[in-house]
Amino acid sequence: MEAAAELALRLRAAANDRLARYEPLALVAAPLLALLVARTLHATASAVADRGLVAIAIAAVKLLPGVSGYIAAEKKKVVDKMQSGGAKNNRRAELPTIGLAEQVIEELETLKAKDVDWQGKCSGTVYIAGSESEGHFQLINKAYSMFSHTNPLHQDVFKSVANMEAEVVAMTAALLGSKEKSSGGQICGNMTSGGTESILLAVKTSRDYMRSKKGITRPEMIIAESAHSAYDKAAQYFNIKVRRVPVNKEFLADVKGFKRCINGNTIMMVGSTPGFPHGLIDPIEELGELASRYDICLHVDLCLGGFVLPFAHKLGYPIPPFDFSVKGVTSISSDVHKYGLAPKGTSIVLYRNHEIRKHQFVAVTEWTGGLYVSPTIAGSRPGGLIAGAWAAMMSLGLNGYLDSTSRIMDVSKKIQRGIGEIPGLFVIGKPDMTVVAFGSDVVDIFEVNDIMSSKGWHLNALQRPNR
């Protein structure tokens, strides 16, 4: 004991002797400076982990005076256009003194004539071929008009619409694994106004479910940089931190990168099937294994592929597992108004069980107007759209969707082959479905897009098409 005390005294004396040569201010400042450097390094490392080096480099470039000014000006143009609602010429600002009565139809026809000729030349815009006044288009329009006055908020009045919604949800769930034993047999969900609302609800529900289950109050979600921007919108709406992971060399979600981002605040991961930019299916099985191991939610974005991949699989295409048959998948979003060929404004959000979905609902019991329970973001909802979706699915049936999928998959492969035969162009990745992204190392691909736009083709330009 004495020896230890003597050793401590000697060490203290040696330390004092060595530090005596420094100014007291330097001795105080040194550890503070070291702490500042450590915090800076930690913040830098966290930023790299959260956003990746490429995103940080782009953010740094945006800070340059010329670049930041240009971006701000372009952003202002878009915002001003959105706030103005489009062209200002001859826009009405007041009700007509005398109503137009039937003449209003002529006005509508005049306005419609100014739209772009979209048939066959607008990517990701209209999914139903032909004229609105014939065939499948006419059928779903008639179904909508029959129920345009209905509102599923009032289920006691419009029982027909409530029943149709339940059937659309059940039929969609059956396409996405609800009949598989591994699904658990409790798949449930609701119709929404579109893919973005389905995504918003899935994120909100996952947040509240994980808060109830694990007590997470500072939620984070992990997405690939190819994931749809709706997840950023959800993060802003619901105060969730986004950890964005760069895609791998195949332009797919990087499972190892996802794993590195998982921590005690992680509530969910997102996989796309396919991703909107490149048309590629993320490795859902591997993400499902991660979700199961760390007991977190996994949302599968099938907004684009929900009414193609199940049928492509039946047709013999090599489609990897993507639905509720995969262990770990807790929710799925699937748009009926895309390849489901339903009217615009129809999507489905599905959950593995009722325990998860109950966190989607909002129930107000103290309102003077009575008990208010709403399953989706909207209160009142257009029953006509539900009827249109039901009519689309029932009129086409399994054989109709198989035929439609066969034809569009054939066209997709034809486009891929055609691009491959054009010198200087290449297809990005190996598209699994109907989205074909292409780039070039020889010509400016954005100029190619501009030229095609001048010829009436409206394609989707990617921000970084080759990366």
Overall average pLDDT of the 272-277 stretch: 93
Q: Band the pLDDT of 458: cuts 50, 70, 90.
A: confident
Q: Band the pLDDT of 283: cuts 50, 70, 90.
A: very high
pLDDT of 9: 78
Q: Which residues contact 133 (CB under 8 A, 6 or more apart)?
A: none
Q: Which fold has domain 143-395?
A: Aspartate Aminotransferase; domain 2 (3.40.640)
pLDDT of 84: 61
Q: Which residues contact 155 (CB under 8 A, 6 or more apart)?
A: 161, 162
Question: Is residue 466's pLDDT more than 70?
Answer: no
Mean of all residue pLDDT scores within the chain: 89
Q: What is the pLDDT of residues 362-421, one digit of tens each?
A: 999 999 999 888 999 999 999 999 999 999 999 999 999 999 999 999 999 999 999 999
pLDDT of 290: 97
Fold: same for 143-395 and 401-455? no
Residue whose C-alpha is closest to residue 334's, from 198, 174, 142: 198
Question: Is residue 175's pLDDT more than 90?
Answer: yes
Collapse the DSSP code of 393 into the 3-class scheme (helix H, G, I; strand E, B; otherwise coil) and give the result. helix
Q: What is the distance between the alpha carbons of residues 339 and 306, in angstroms, rounded to a whole number?
A: 8
Q: What is the pLDDT of residues 73-96, one digit of tens each?
A: 766 666 666 566 655 567 888 999
pLDDT of 53: 60
pLDDT of 19: 67
pLDDT of 89: 63
Cβ distance 194 to 389 under 8 Å?
no
* Angle, CA of 459, 462 and 467, to the nearest 5°: 140
What is the widest separation between alpha-carbon atoms in the chain? 107
* Nearest 10 degrees: Cα torsion 65, 70, 75, 77: 140
pLDDT of 338: 96
Question: Is residue 298's pLDDT more than 60?
Answer: yes
Q: What is the pLDDT of residues 134-144, one digit of tens each?
A: 899 999 999 99
Domain boundaries, the chain: 1-67, 143-395, 401-455
b/e burial code for range 276-285 (CB count within 10 A of at least 16 → b)? bbbbbbbbbb
Q: What is the distance between the alpha carbons of residues 326 and 412, in angstroms, rounded to a whole number?
A: 27
DSSP 182: G
pLDDT of 287: 98
Report the chain's terminal Cα–Cα distance, integer Å: 66
For the whole model, what pTM was predicted? 0.83
If phi > 0 it is left, if psi is from -120 to 50 it is alpha, else beta; for residue 84 that is alpha
Before 274, cis peptide (omega within 30)? yes
Overall average pLDDT of the 295-304 stretch: 97
The tokens describing 8, both together, are: 């401590």
Question: Is residue 69's pLDDT more than 90?
Answer: no
Q: What is the pLDDT of residues 322-341, one digit of tens each?
A: 999 999 999 999 999 999 99
DSSP 344: S
| CATH number belonging to domain 401-455 | 3.90.1150.10
Q: Which residues contact 201 (CB under 8 A, 6 or more apart)?
A: 190, 192, 349, 360, 376, 377
Q: What is the distance between the alpha carbons of residues 187 and 178, in angstroms, rounded to a whole number?
A: 6
Question: Is residue 426's pLDDT more than 60?
Answer: yes
Distances (CA, A) of 281 to 110, 271, 324: 42, 8, 15
DSSP 349: E
Q: Band the pLDDT of 243: cuts 50, 70, 90.
A: very high
Window from 127-136, 244-253, 254-263 with minimum mean pLDDT: 127-136
pLDDT of 375: 92
Overall average pLDDT of the 242-250 stretch: 94
Residue whose C-alpha is closest to residue 222's, from 193, 210, 197: 210
Collapse the DSSP code of 413 into the 3-class scheme (helix H, G, I; strand E, B; otherwise coil) and give the result. helix
Exposed / middle / buried, residue 152 (Cβ in 10 Å: 0-12, 13-18, 19+) = buried
Give the whole-number percent of the chain exceeding pLDDT 90.
65
Q: Band the pLDDT of 123: cuts 50, 70, 90.
A: confident
pLDDT of 117: 81
Window from 110-119, 146-155, 179-188, 387-396 with minimum mean pLDDT: 110-119
One-character DSSP codes across 107-125: HHHHHHTTS---TTTBTTT
